[in-house]
Structure 1
Amino acid sequence: MPPTDVAQALAIVLAWGVNFVVIKWGVAGVPPLLLGALRFTLVALPAVFFIRRPALPWRYLALYGLTMGVGQFGCLFTAIKLGMPAGLASVVLQSQAFFTLLLARLFLDERWQASQLAGLALALGGLALIGMDKGGNMTALGFGLTIAAATSWAASNVVVRAISRAGHSVAPLGLVIWSSLVPPLPFLLLSWRLEGSERMAAALRDFNLQSLFAVVYLAVVATMFGYGLWSRLLSRHAAAKVAPFSLLVPVVGLLASRVLLGESLTQAQLAGSGLLLAGLAVAVFGGRVLSAALAARSGRA
């Protein structure tokens, strides 16, 4: 990759890593489900008037909007509001890669590679360490909702694979923008039912610059800028060259939460985070490393 594209990939990593801190700021002034409605409304409008609608049946857009939008971010925003540290959330959310393996096996009959199973074992050990830890500021409900967010993200990945299997070719940015028409109404209904009309009205009445910054950052920087650049890089380079940059997102998330929020992890949380990230690295690079080693061995034979 040329230096300019590497710089763009790192800019995306920075935007997505800091995103978790911004969520923490956002839910401080706006109820989580209402924040989700505002985020996806701003993503969809006015962008749908400028970005062509993907040539997909609406059922795919609805499924992606519900899993990626309502499921993933509804659970994540609520988790952080209910005590999940932002930095730790950025790590635990990466378990989506392994839930994707499980769901793809269940619904798409995809086979697993040995490196993926090894990575899954490491990641599960890491999640177990984090989940069983009683120290720090993490709540059990916050941890559980973050796992639910990761599972919803995995479900959205399976929807994308199902779209590809059906023979559709879709630009990622167009999919994100048009599917963002789906979450606002469910978010508003859930916010009215679970958070209450009084809290919704109070949040909108007292909407301040911090809340505005959070909504704009989540919609414009994390979503439109991030996915727009990401899809551009994927169109110019092989996925194997681009995807590994995502492993840096939780690293930035941990550093940003430390610097901007003063968060710190317990020893068990640090060890668990290390195991989970190691599992991700094994799953992403293990197959290629093993293939290279076998090829080198065959060449010497």
Structure 2
Amino acid sequence: MQLVLLVLHSWAAQAWCVNPRDRSLAVLVAVLWGANFIALDFGLGHFPPFFFAALRFAVLLPVLFFVPRPDVPWKWLLGYGFFFGAMQFAFLFVAMNIGMPTGLASLVQQASAPFTVALGALLLRERITSVQIVGILTAVLGMVVIGWNRAQSAALLPMLITVCGAFSWALGNLCARKANPPNPLHLTLWIAIVPPLPMFAMSAAFEGPTAGLRALTTVFDSTTGWYALAGLAYTSLLASVIGSGLWTTLMGRYPASRVAPFSLLVPVVGFTTAWLVLGEHPDPVELAAGAVVVTGVLLGSLNLKKRRVQEPVLERV
């Protein structure tokens, strides 16, 4: 208990070191990303999941005419685009399409943080502290409880697919870390060149060659179509361009330990908006397990050791 209180105190102290204006921007990003799961639910109410995943990035391609390509090796740009852009959202959209609750999806996606720490230690030989190990195991315990509870109602598959999305996000984080772009926002935008072709191909193969086109041509014929357009605009522009742009700016302005804690507000916003907008009522067991997962994510993402001045600020995504 004392360790948890110590970590929470350290987390709050680091977040409080951000000046009030930037603190407000960080909270705004968390709100944009948390509400993004509602936008995804709207989009999936009309578009097939693979087609919607492709469309989410395809609408950003015209922006690249005005944004210079990031000065990073192609292999890391393509790797980031494949794992973070294509695979993460493919898994997430499929999971939500087959029954993953919106609020719970926003929580399970946070597993990407301890996955990133663990994969960084295994693949990049990064140092991992005993507190981070405890955090990873705590998050895994929370996920196991959620999985067990889901299995009781035969709803385990959507949860497992969402975990695969979080794992893909973590692999994308490693590619972004190896890329080490001088302008992270340019990298975030340029990964839009990767997902459309494979996702459109998967849509044609698994959803039917005309399913996506039929959804696109009938988008103005129903209320769900208009909601889907609003969801597409939100997730592409507000969540990706504005949210990611503000986040990468803050990550470049402060040490990652001061900014990263604000991401834990995302599932709080996700659960709240899902309750207010969609009428979702989370299971009490899953809420309790979710608190365990958030605690584990916090522990797994936090470095209690004092940072050196020369240490790079972009350390954790």
Does the TM-score normalized on the shorter chain lie above 0.5? yes
Match of 2:234 in 1: 217
Distance 2:84 2:215 in 1: 24
User: Compared with structure 1, are the counterparts of its residues 59 and 46 closer, same or farther at alpha carbon in structure 2 (3 Å cutoff)?
Assistant: same
In 2, Cα distance between the equivalents of 1:202 and 1:161?
39
Task: Give the gaps of 5 or more residues in structure 2.
Answer: 1-17, 220-224, 308-317
Indicate conservation of the 8 Å contact 2:77/2:176, yes or no: no
2:192 is equivalent to residue 180 of structure 1 = yes
For residues 264 and 203 of structure 1, the distance between their equivalents in structure 2, rounded to whole angstroms, comes to 30
**Superposition deviation, residue 84 in structure 1:** 0.5
Residue equivalent to 2:64: 48
Q: Does 2:172 correspond to 1:160? A: no
- Could you say if the C-alpha distance between residues 59 and 152 of structure 1 is closer, same or farther in structure 2, counting changes exceeding 3 Å? same
Distance 2:238 2:276 in 1: 20
Distance 2:154 2:185 in 1: 34
Query: Which residue matches 1:65?
Result: 81
Measured at CA, do residues 181 and 160 of structure 1 come closer, stay the same or move farther in structure 2, by a change above 3 Å?
Answer: same
What is the aligned partner in structure 1 of residue 93 from structure 2? 77
CA contact (8 A) 1:22 1:214 kept: yes
Counterpart-to-counterpart distance in 2, 1:34 and 1:136: 31
Question: Which residue is 1:296 aligned to?
Answer: none
Report the CA distance shift for 1:238/1:197 in structure 2 as closer, same or farther (over 3 A).
same
Does 148-157 or 225-234 show the bigger shift? 225-234
- The 1-side partners of 2:104 and 2:75 are apart by 34
Q: 1:280 to 1:134 in 2, by over 3 A?
A: closer
Q: Could you say what secondary structure the match of 1:55 adopts?
A: coil
Pairing 1:271–2:288 present: yes
| Structure 1 gap ranges (5+) | 293-301
Distance 1:242 1:33, change over 3 A: same
2:212 is aligned to 200
Choose from 101, 108, 126 the match for 2:117: 101
Note if contact 2:103-2:271 (Cα within 8 Å) is conserved in structure 1: yes
1:291 offset after TM fit, Å? Answer: 6.6
Amino acid paired to 2:295: A
Bigger mean CA offset, 200-209 vs 91-100: 200-209
Give the 3-state SS of the residue equivalent to 2:59 in structure 1: helix
Counterpart selection for 1:9 from 6, 14, 26? 26
Distance (Å, rounded) in 2 between the aligned partners of 1:178 and 1:137? 41
Residues 136 and 266 of structure 1 are in contact (CA less than 8 Å); yes or no, is this contact kept in structure 2? no
Off by >6 Å, runs of 4+ in structure 1: 135-138
Question: Counterparts of 2:251 and 2:306 in 1: how far apart (Å)?
Answer: 23
Match of 1:54, SS state, is: coil
Change (3 A) 1:162 1:134: closer
Residue type of the alignment partner of 2:114: F
Distance 2:48 2:153 in 1: 20
Taking every aligned residue pair, what percent have the same amino acid on both sides? 36
CA–CA distance in structure 1, aligned partners of residues 162 and 150 of structure 2: 17
